[in-house]
């Protein structure tokens, strides 16, 4: 009796398994014929599309993309897809880019008061590692917003390599936090003749415009570092004096007409004053002449709050061949008479070399030498 029941159970199991196999076979056959029909339909469409374009003015074989340089199988599929009667609009294949918003007037990532020190050793390799987003020539553009100004930062230079390392170390991060579109230009006076700061700044303005479409120019000494990143390095409605509170002067403005250290003018403001004077050889006087040019042309000097416009100066000895200019006081008194003939309109120099480094662009020039002083008997 037990053997009989066991046999019937096995018989039912075998029938169920056979039934399942039959159902599975039927399902596989249905799927196979469905896929085969779709493939046949696609190839027939491709064949019809190829025949329709063969001999036409714009006809191309659908294997054409595979013979192009850098062609991929996806490009082949795209070509085949274009031959189908139900063509998709080309705009569907074009990725939409989100418009970049304007940069905020006050960038949210600013730190405020900074600790500036010049005691630790600085190398260009370290500064380069710290600023991987700065491109060749010392250029940077914020990736997430569109700045109002394109800023060229111009530094008159000679024999200050150690100062330049510190300046780049501090300024690149500050400028990036300020969301500034900028390029840095070191204007290197070749030779050992008398230094001429203002003429080098005129050269920087001219050469920067050859390199980019700048509309704002910041003129900075290489030994001055801002102590607050809220002192924004861009242009304003009026010419801007940034370095109004240096540690050298006890963090005070030395006198009302002081315009030295770090200043900024838009391209329009710069041309309105005919740029800077070219005839101030040696130390002193050129920044006062520039201040006079600004006021004589109906503009005012704008300044940041004294708590924000603080700067540290790298201590150093006075440069050789940059002795005080004994003619500076007489020249300052004659700005009104000289500013139309002496400036960017009368600039002459010899460009020797332009070399782009990872953190800045170096422009080496020969600017001549001062005229002989009149003999006094």
Q: What is the pLDDT of residues 335-348, one digit of tens each?
A: 999 999 999 999 99
Q: Which residue has the tokens 């100004």?
A: 149
Output the six-digit token pair for 209: 């415009």
CA–CA distance, 235 with 367 (Å, rounded to integer): 28
Q: Annotated catalytic, 113?
A: no
Task: List the catalytic residue out of 24, 88, 113, 316.
Answer: 316
pLDDT of residue 13: 79
Q: What number of other Cβ atoms are within 10 A of residue 146's Cβ?
A: 13
Q: Annotated catalytic, 288?
A: no
Q: What number of other Cβ atoms are within 10 A of residue 301's Cβ?
A: 18
Task: List the catalytic residue out of 3, 318, 373, 376.
Answer: 318
CA–CA distance, 312 with 225 (Å, rounded to integer): 5
CA–CA distance, 292 with 256 (Å, rounded to integer): 12
φ, ψ dihedrals at 294, nearest 5°: -65, -50
For the chain of 377 residues, list the mean pLDDT of each consecutive stretch of 10.
65 76 68 46 41 39 31 33 39 66 95 95 96 97 96 97 97 98 98 96 98 98 98 98 96 94 98 97 92 98 97 79 76 94 97 98 96 65
Q: Annotated catalytic, 60?
A: no
**pLDDT tens, position by position, 155-197:** 999 999 999 999 999 999 999 999 999 999 999 999 999 999 9
Q: Annotated catalytic, 283?
A: yes
The number of angstroms, rounded, from the C-alpha of 355 to the middle of its chain's C-alpha atoms is: 17
DSSP states of 136-178: TTTEE--SSSB-S-EEEEEEEESS-HHHHHHHHHHHHHHHHHT
- Within 8 A by CB and 6+ apart from 184, the residues are 137, 138, 139, 153, 155, 168, 171, 359, 360, 361
CA–CA distance, 138 with 135 (Å, rounded to integer): 6
Q: Annotated catalytic, 172?
A: no
Q: Which residue has the tokens 């013979």?
A: 67
CA–CA distance, 268 with 278 (Å, rounded to integer): 19
Mean pLDDT over each residue of the chain, to the nearest integer: 83
Output the six-digit token pair for 342: 């002496």
CA–CA distance, 354 with 46 (Å, rounded to integer): 58
Task: List the catalytic residue out of 122, 172, 176, 221.
Answer: 221
Task: List the catalytic residue out of 207, 229, 279, 286.
Answer: 286
pTM, two decimal places: 0.74
Output the six-digit token pair for 319: 């440069």
Task: List the catalytic residue out of 279, 287, 288, 342.
Answer: 287
Task: List the catalytic residue out of 207, 223, 228, 279.
Answer: 223
Helix (H, G, I), strand (E, B) or coil at 230: coil
Report the chain's terminal Cα–Cα distance, integer Å.
149
Distances (CA, A) of 136 to 162, 189, 266: 20, 22, 24
Q: Annotated catalytic, 286?
A: yes
Distances (CA, A) of 77 to 52, 65, 89: 18, 9, 16
Let me know: does 257 contact 291? Beta carbons within 8 Å: yes
**Element spanning 77, H or E:** helix 73-83
**Element spanning 361, H or E:** strand 361-366
Q: Annotated catalytic, 167?
A: no
Q: Annotated catalytic, 316?
A: yes
Task: List the catalytic residue out of 283, 299, 321, 323.
Answer: 283
> Checking DSSP bridges between strand 216-220 and strand 240-241, what pairing results, if any?
unpaired
CA–CA distance, 186 with 4 (Å, rounded to integer): 104
């Amino acid at each position: 009796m037990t053997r009989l029941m066991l046999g019937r159970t096995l018989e039912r199991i075998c029938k169920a398994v056979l039934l399942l196999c039959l159902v599975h076979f039927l399902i596989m056959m249905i799927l196979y014929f469905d896929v085969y029909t779709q493939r046949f339909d696609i190839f027939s469409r491709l064949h019809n599309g190829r025949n329709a374009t063969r001999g036409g003015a714009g006809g191309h074989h659908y294997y054409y993309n595979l013979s192009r340089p850098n062609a991929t199988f996806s490009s082949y599929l795209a070509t085949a897809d274009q031959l189908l009667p139900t063509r998709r609009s080309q705009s569907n294949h074009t990725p939409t880019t989100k418009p970049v918003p304007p940069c905020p007037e006050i960038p949210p990532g600013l730190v405020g008061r900074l600790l500036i020190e010049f005691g630790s050793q600085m190398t260009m390799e370290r500064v380069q590692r710290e600023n991987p987003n700065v491109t060749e020539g010392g250029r940077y553009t914020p990736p997430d917003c569109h700045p109002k100004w394109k800023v060229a930062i111009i530094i008159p230079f000679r024999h200050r390599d150690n100062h330049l390392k510190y300046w780049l170390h501090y300024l690149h991060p500050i400028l990036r936090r300020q969301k500034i579109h900028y390029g840095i230009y070191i204007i290197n006076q070749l030779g050992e003749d008398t230094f001429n700061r203002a003429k080098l700044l005129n050269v920087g303005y001219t050469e920067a415009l050859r390199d980019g479409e700048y509309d704002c120019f910041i003129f900075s000494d290489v030994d001055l570092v801002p102590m607050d990143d809220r002192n924004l390095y861009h242009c304003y409605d009026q010419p801007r004096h940034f370095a109004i509170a240096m540690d050298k002067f006890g963090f005070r403005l030395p006198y009302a007409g002081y315009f030295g250290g770090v200043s900024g003018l838009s391209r329009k403001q710069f041309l309105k004053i005919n740029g800077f004077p070219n005839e101030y050889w040696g130390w002193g006087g050129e920044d006062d002449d520039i201040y006079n040019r600004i006021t004589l042309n109906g503009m005012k000097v704008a300044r940041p709050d004294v708590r924000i416009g603080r700067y540290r100066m790298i201590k150093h000895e006075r440069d050789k061949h940059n002795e005080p200019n004994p003619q500076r006081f007489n020249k300052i008194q004659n700005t009104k008479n000289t500013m139309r003939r002496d400036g960017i309109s009368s600039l002459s120099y010899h460009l020797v070399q332009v070399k782009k480094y990872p953190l800045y662009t170096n422009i080496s020039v020969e600017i001549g030498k001062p005229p002989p002083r009149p003999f006094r008997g």
